[in-house]
Structure 1
């Protein structure tokens, strides 16, 4: 009772204190309700966000991963177009399907090329050279990627030089093709290593040296064996740049682009299913000297199709038929699938 009387006495003695107390409580409640929520993402500096986006871009498995990032918010859309992010985009992040090809996709690849992405330079260069018929700009983009130590781009330019693609047959340059193939071989490209080996064996663009040629061919076969066994155990990425189990997406793009209409104008596709290159003029690719039913853009594709594509069996069937028809041993060419002239 004494406590209540003392409180009542204090209220009667100072009646304004209670009103001030109510006012302060209401003011604090209003401030708490109207105070905005703190967004921690907006507080992050741009440099930190760009670093995270660059790492995500380098590990992206498809172009849709980058698109999903840009759709998150306005800030992510702006930072996702930064040169630092586009330059580090992975090979799969710039690998567009032929059925998804459009003007926005073309602009996306151009933006990646302008940022200095060598994968995009190679991908767009191949599309322009073989699909769009823009030979000059396509070769320039592939050359830019090759200068950036892109092995597949250097080997593609070697194939162009060997065949004189995009020009007359007289524009073939075996010496330049050998130099480009040797550069790709130094970068670890398996098909380029095999091509260099055949160049030394045949003296095509390089001095003939059978021992050196055999060493390159053995090296290429050993790398393919390592690539085939890397899935079950350790992954020797230090010795392999181009794996047989991981084909280049741009080759699939070219195959999808032309489809079944590849022979409508008399131009042939490379018979190696994993290649996808198409002739730029008639009789550009060479045929198998034994059966004459298949053609290849390079000796590397020929060797791969001979062992992996099953041409060894079909070519031997042709040989057996010819021997049955000409038992006196008629000339059927090299059964190992060596190139024959047109």
Structure 2
């Protein structure tokens, strides 16, 4: 329980009376925790800080920062600064798991601080953060930040399996492809296909839930990607459905904007994952798998490759002339 400040109670006839001043701090902190966890963008939280000195002080309380949701940290790459970095570190110190994951991804891929980034993602993964588990799996599959010989396929499969168990759709899809191909695990084609169907079903359920969020949000979802004509949502065309694609995590949008806006240099011979919703860059030349037909696109994972094929690449892929 937070200490309650004693405040002067004004009479009704006092022109300076303010009901807000009479509210205890712990009640305001409780309300701010709810607001920070449900904020739809960073400005929602920033507006609280700018309201008054008291709200500015209480909004930076460790309990409030620990509850902040992923969208509070959805800073634009062009707006990245030392103050944004400090704010994320402050949230990490309060135990915010989303801050650990977001800052871990930014440090690992954008700031090229591999050890610190991987450590922060591992800190989030320990608390069963599904996206952090999947990101660490991708790092293990590719040997990111190290050499090709540092790939650990079994560790990648284990991390994917844990993330899939927690409901991460991309991890479930990746695990299905690993089982189909015998990549890092004993081949089991039937089980792999079953997991891919389950990933499709979960994606369908998630997309249908998003349809209840209102027409404006649905329109934003449709505009997020450029769809192949009459194909509907990627992978859901198997079910004959035409629903919005899943919402991209803010940190993936940050990665993509960071490199496309040239805030960070990729380096000679390095490329981004060609799936629009990913944003991961190569950490060494030829790290990602390339399309075996055209060789013009590359992907950080089998999941991204399958998703982008249905989304866009199947109508663009042209065999390389000998």
TM range (shorter): 0.7 to 0.9
| CA deviation map 1:100-149 (0-9, x unaligned) | 10111111111111111111111111000000000011011111111222
In the superposition, relative to structure 1, how do residues 249 and 269 fare at CA in structure 2: closer, same or farther (>3 Å)? same
Q: Which runs of 5+ in 2 are unaligned?
A: 1-10, 215-243
Q: What residue is the counterpart of 1:140 in the other structure? A: 119
Looking at structure 2, the residues matched to 244 and 151 of structure 1 have their Cα atoms a distance apart, in angstroms, of: 19
Q: What residue is the counterpart of 1:107 in the other structure? A: 86
Aligned: 1:94 with 2:58: no
Cα RMSD (Å) = 2.2
Whether the 8 Å contact between 1:227 and 1:244 is mirrored in structure 2 is no
* Number of positions where the alignment pairs a residue of Structure 1 with one of Structure 2: 280
Q: What's the TM-score, normalizing by structure 1?
A: 0.77
Structure having greater relative contact order (Cα 8 Å, sep ≥ 6): 2
Q: What residue is the counterpart of 1:74 in the other structure? A: 53
Looking at structure 2, the residues matched to 64 and 164 of structure 1 have their Cα atoms a distance apart, in angstroms, of: 37
Q: Which moved more, 1:197-206 or 1:130-139?
A: 197-206
Alignment of 1:306-325 (within 5 A): 306-308=309-311, 310-315=312-317, 317-318=318-319
Q: What residue is the counterpart of 2:232 in the other structure? A: none
Larger Rg: 1
Q: What residue is the counterpart of 1:302 in the other structure? A: 305
CA positional deviation for 1:43: 2.1
In the superposition, relative to structure 1, how do residues 50 and 256 fare at CA in structure 2: closer, same or farther (>3 Å)? same
Whether the 8 Å contact between 1:113 and 1:120 is mirrored in structure 2 is yes
SS of 1:66 mapped into structure 2? helix
Alignment of 1:88-237 (within 5 A): 88-232=67-211
CA positional deviation for 1:178: 0.5
Q: What residue is the counterpart of 1:256 in the other structure? A: 257
CA positional deviation for 1:233: 5.4
Q: What's the TM-score, normalizing by structure 2?
A: 0.82
CA positional deviation for 1:234: 9.2
| CA deviation map 1:150-202 (0-9, x unaligned) | 21111000000000000011110000000111111011111100111111112
